[in-house]
């Protein structure tokens, strides 16, 4: 018994699914072995405990897993090869990008999605807005090789949406920040630069910020096929964790969108590159420090401390950079590293 809701919707809103409109590219083509020409190519649409659904050129398909294979090895957005007669999955192709997230208290990272071009980080113009949390998402997006874009929802409930936009824009150089109402058709038009044929976007953010509402608008889903959405709690503005699994949907104007469940917390690990990009103003100062392994805490000749004293560096950014770098390297640095685990930013000059 397959839940075809989103996969059938995907095929019905797309006149003809070509592999390239589904996101297929040379990167995947190059992975095919000569003997694999007979297999059909599928993009994973939903991942359940015991089954996978996918989209292929001919429409939605339920795939059969080979023995000893586990659905946990697959992410929404993955490309796989399958037998055209039996729909038996043959193998997964290497991912161009993969979004891994670590939940507090859990050792194994979750696969939030694969082969994503743009990560829409969704936050509301209310108590949900939190620069430190947005930075975690940005580090994650940078590390995964996806382009982050911040989406600000619920501007209609805030008197000063521009203030939120300004704050969000300051978090990373060149970051696009879009104010939109996910309930309105205008939202789709505002996102066309990223929602194009063959492109895949994913939505992440806290519960209740409007991710599924936006999916319904982008996909043009009729009420009976729509993603379920939930009202936020009156007393604290928190969402109710309405969405519980990830799914891929066709965007009416072209491209694909992955809906994800809202997250309570996000831990960052092994994201040195993502953090370097996020905190470019600190990354650029580091080569001017006297010591190659400067921690920017107390060393003489530290360019970062100098910028701090001169007022050209935001002290809160430095604090958050340190916290994130330490958290990231806690899960990365080898135990016998001469710098132990507190090596914030130390591998910068590798």
Ligand X SMILES: Nc1nc2c(ncn2[C@@H]2O[C@H](COP(=O)(O)OP(=O)(O)OP(=O)(O)O)[C@@H](O)[C@H]2O)c(=O)[nH]1
CB of 246 to Zn ion, least distance (A): 40
CB of 322 to Zn ion, least distance (A): 11
Per CB under 6 A, contacts with ligand X among 178-237 are: 181-183, 207-213, 229-232
Per CB under 6 A, contacts with ligand X among 127-156 are: 153-154, 156
Give φ, ψ of 157 to 5 degrees: -100, 0
Using rule CB under 6 A, residue 323 touches ligand X: no
The interface partner of residue 117, options being ligand X, Mg ion, Zn ion, none and the CB cut-off 5 to 8 Å by kind, is: none
The correct pick among 117, 150, 172, 243 for binding Mg ion (CB under 5 A) is: 243
Dmax over Cα atoms in the chain, in whole Å? 69
Could you tell me if 40 and 281 are in contact, meaning their C-beta atoms sit under 8 angstroms apart?
Answer: no
Using rule CB under 6 A, residue 245 touches ligand X: no
Give φ, ψ of 13 to 5 degrees: -90, -10
CB of 156 to ligand X, least distance (A): 5
Beta-carbon-side half-sphere exposure of residue 323 (alpha carbons within 13 Å): 11
Q: Which residues bind Zn ion (CB under 5 A)?
A: 289, 294, 296, 302, 304
CB of 247 to ligand X, least distance (A): 11
d(CA 172, CA 288): 21
The interface partner of residue 241, options being Zn ion, Mg ion, ligand X, none and the CB cut-off 5 to 8 Å by kind, is: ligand X
Using rule CB under 6 A, residue 116 touches ligand X: no
Tell the burial category of 313 from Cβ atoms under 10 Å away from its Cβ (0-12, 13-18, 19+).
Answer: buried
d(CA 124, CA 62): 36
Q: How many residues bind Mg ion (CB under 5 A)?
A: 4
Closest by CA to 7, choosing from 262, 256, 260, 261, is 256
Can you give the binding site for ligand X, defined by CB under 6 A?
153-154, 156-157, 181-183, 207-213, 229-232, 239-243, 261-262
């Amino acid at each position: 018994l397959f839940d075809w809701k989103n996969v059938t919707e995907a095929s019905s809103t797309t006149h003809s699914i070509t592999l390239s409109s589904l996101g297929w590219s040379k990167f995947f083509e190059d992975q095919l072995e000569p003997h694999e020409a007979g297999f059909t190519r599928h993009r994973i649409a939903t991942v359940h405990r015991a089954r996978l659904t996918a989209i292929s050129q001919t429409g939605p398909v339920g795939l059969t897993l080979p023995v000893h294979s586990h659905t946990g090895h697959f992410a929404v957005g993955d490309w796989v090869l399958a037998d055209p007669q039996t729909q038996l999955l043959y193998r997964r192709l290497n991912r161009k990008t993969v979004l891994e997230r670590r939940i507090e208290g859990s050792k194994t990272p979750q696969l939030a999605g694969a082969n994503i071009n743009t990560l829409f980080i969704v936050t509301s113009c209310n108590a949900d807005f939190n620069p430190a949390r947005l930075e975690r998402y940005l580090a994650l997006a940078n590390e995964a090789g996806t382009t982050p874009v911040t989406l600000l929802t619920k501007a209609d409930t805030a008197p000063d949406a521009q203030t939120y936009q300004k704050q969000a824009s300051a978090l990373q150089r060149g970051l696009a920040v879009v104010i939109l109402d996910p309930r309105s058709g205008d939202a789709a038009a505002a996102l066309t630069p990223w929602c194009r044929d063959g492109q895949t976007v994913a939505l992440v953010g806290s519960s209740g910020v409007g991710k599924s509402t936006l999916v319904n608008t982008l996909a043009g889903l009729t009420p009976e096929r729509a993603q379920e959405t939930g009202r936020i709690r009156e007393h604290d503005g928190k969402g109710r964790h309405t969405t519980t699994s990830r799914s891929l949907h066709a965007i009416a104007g072209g491209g694909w969108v992955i809906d994800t469940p809202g997250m309570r917390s996000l831990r960052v690990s092994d994201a040195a590159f993502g953090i370097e990009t996020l905190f470019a103003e600190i990354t650029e100062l580091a080569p001017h420090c006297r010591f190659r392994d400067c921690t920017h805490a107390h060393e003489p000749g530290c360019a970062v401390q100098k910028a701090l004293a001169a007022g050209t560096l935001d002290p809160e950014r430095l604090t958050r950079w340190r916290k994130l770098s330490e958290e990231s390297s806690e899960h990365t640095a080898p135990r016998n590293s001469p710098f132990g685990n507190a090596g914030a930013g130390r591998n910068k000059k590798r």
